[in-house]
Amino acid sequence: MALPEAEYSIAVFPYLKTSAPVVLGGVHLRSTLDTEGLPDEQVRHVKAIAAMLFLQGEYQIRSATYAIVPWTNAEEMTATLRRIQAVIAYCYCAPHPALGTPFLEYESARMLIFTPAPVVSFIVQPDHNVQYVGPTPPPVPNERHELPGYAGLCNFQHHFWVCQGSRVYPPVPHPPMNLAQDLACDAERFFRESTVYPHLPLLLARPLDANAERMLRAITWFNRANSSSHNDETNLVMLAVAFETLLAVPEDKKTERLSDAISLLLGRVPRLDTWASQFYDARSAILHEGRAVQLRFAATEERKPKSPPLCNSLLAYGRQIFQLCTATLLVGAQLASRVGLGERLFTNQERYASICKVLSDTTQNPEMRLLQIAPTVRVIDSLRFVPETDLRIETMLDAVRLAAVSLLACATVEPALAEPLNNLATTRFAPDGYDALDALRQVTDAVRHTPRAAEDGPRDTCLRLCDIVWMSTFQYYYWRREERHRKEAGNTQ
């Protein structure tokens, strides 16, 4: 396979349309009918890809949704696109309020990524047990058996290749193209007007914490549980995985733990525990016996009733319960984030230790090390007056010493700062810490006579850390200096 000919790709939602541009997770999504402002080369690629998208037979899709994706950081961009697809699919898989069936099935949010690249002709022009019946002759490859085309990736899982004249069809027969669906309008409704989805954009931020990562994995399993490619039994098992992931259900007594976790989030709703029991009984029967005897909800308080009245499917109720649980968890995460709860449960001693660990990592360049610790420095600054018993001066001084080393290695500093920073960088912590503290004092004195730097830049981060540590230790420094003076005076008598 030849190397791509462009440093960008085109991510496409073939079965979702939009009437206006939408920005999600920093990615600009717009209609394939809209190429305004794009370079001629990108316009050509967007039109060529749009011409390949078909719904069925000779019926070409009129407009799809796409984004130009630069591959400056392939790993990060792939993660961003995964999150965007998961959130969009989750919103469109919203269950009907009464019937519990998804508004759109998972296949509607299928994402295709096209990267311009030469394609080997044998892949896109097979010759075994097939015959070409197109109205025009197929394109002729060059002497290396290559054609201009695209290397594709479907849902981050299946690779494919296409060229001029290729057609891309849906993964299932006769997928619905919803008349009312419009990503531009729907995003407004999902994230601003809905009571269930307004906090979903939290899952598009970078970086994600462990809880957000878990919720994103759970949402991905929920989306798979809304596939028209699967039967209800398969979808029910996938929904069970989504619940277990979302609620971190332990291995023992899963039914009881699931019921307790849901009740904690949604309250003691009548018969909610009955649904949980029946849902997990069906899940266990499918996994251990290959099928479930009953996939509908038995409206009764009895665990195993003989002939109860049957209501909607366990899956339909499960979809609604899952989305309510997710919404509740996202609200809680937002409230916890607003007050910085996760940050408050750690000590500044731990933060200084983490700074030392980051700044000691020589596999990263010095500038990146300083940029990485900037958020931690801000938190230390906001919580430096909170009392703690294990805050050690040697750890604090080691942090500023390593910060000085990193700053000197990645930037040219003013002469007034260069010598004090060099002293700080080369002074190790002695038993009383006086020499290191004196070097730190010289840096903070010099900072007062130098202009401020860009906030959260490498220079600002280093000097802010020096100021924070000095304000936390200056009393100890002057006490140590007076003690030295007394000793010196005693020795001279």
Structure confidence by residue, pLDDT tens digits, 316-370: 999 999 999 999 998 888 888 788 887 888 999 999 999 999 999 988 899 999 9
- C-alpha distances (whole Å) from 87 to each of 73, 81, 488 are 21, 10, 69
* pLDDT number for residue 257: 84
Mind giving me the DSSP string for 353-370? Answer: HHHHHHHT-TTS-HHHHH
Q: How far apart are CA 118 and CA 125, in angstroms?
A: 14
Q: What are phi and psi of 471, to 5 degrees?
A: -65, -20
Structure confidence at residue 2 as a pLDDT band (50, 70, 90): very low
DSSP for 238-285?
Answer: HHHHHHHHHHT--STTHHHHHHHHHHHHH---TTHHHHHHHHHHHHHH
Q: Are strands 22-24 and 8-13 parallel, antiparallel or unpaired?
A: unpaired
- Does 416 score more than 70 pLDDT? yes
Q: What is the mean pLDDT of residues 236-259?
A: 87
Q: Are 422 and 408 in contact (CB under 8 A)?
A: yes
Nearest CA to 68 out of 98, 103, 44 is that of 44
Once rounded to an integer, what is the mean pLDDT over residues 479-484?
88
pLDDT of residue 203: 87
pLDDT in tens, 35-61: 999 999 999 999 999 999 999 989 999
Percent of the chain residues topping a pLDDT of 90: 61
Lowest mean pLDDT among 3-12, 76-85, 377-386, 418-427: 3-12
| Average pLDDT taken over every residue of the chain | 89
Please enumerate in sequence order all residues whose Cβ is within 8 A of that of 122, keeping only pairs 6 or more positions apart, or say none: 145
Kindly give, in sequence order, each residue whose CB lies less than 8 Å from that of residue 194, ignoring residues fewer than 6 positions away. none
Q: What is the pLDDT of residue 3?
A: 43
Least confident stretch, 192-201, 378-387, 400-409, 465-474: 192-201
For the chain, percent of residues with pLDDT exceeding 70: 95
The per-residue b/e assignment along 361-379, b for 16 or more CB within 10 angstroms, e otherwise, is eeeeebbebbbbbbebbbe
Give the whole-angstrom CA distance, residue 93 versus residue 114: 25
Instruction: Estimate the crossing angle of helix 415-426 against helix 434-447, to 10 degrees.
Output: 160
319: nearest Cα among 254, 210, 256, 227: 227
Q: What is the pLDDT of residue 153?
A: 94
pLDDT higher for 117 or 254? 117
Q: Are 249 and 258 in contact (CB under 8 A)?
A: yes
Give the per-residue pLDDT at 453: 60
* The token pair that represents 444 in the structure block: 């903070």
Q: Look at residue 492 in the predicted model and tell me its pLDDT.
A: 64
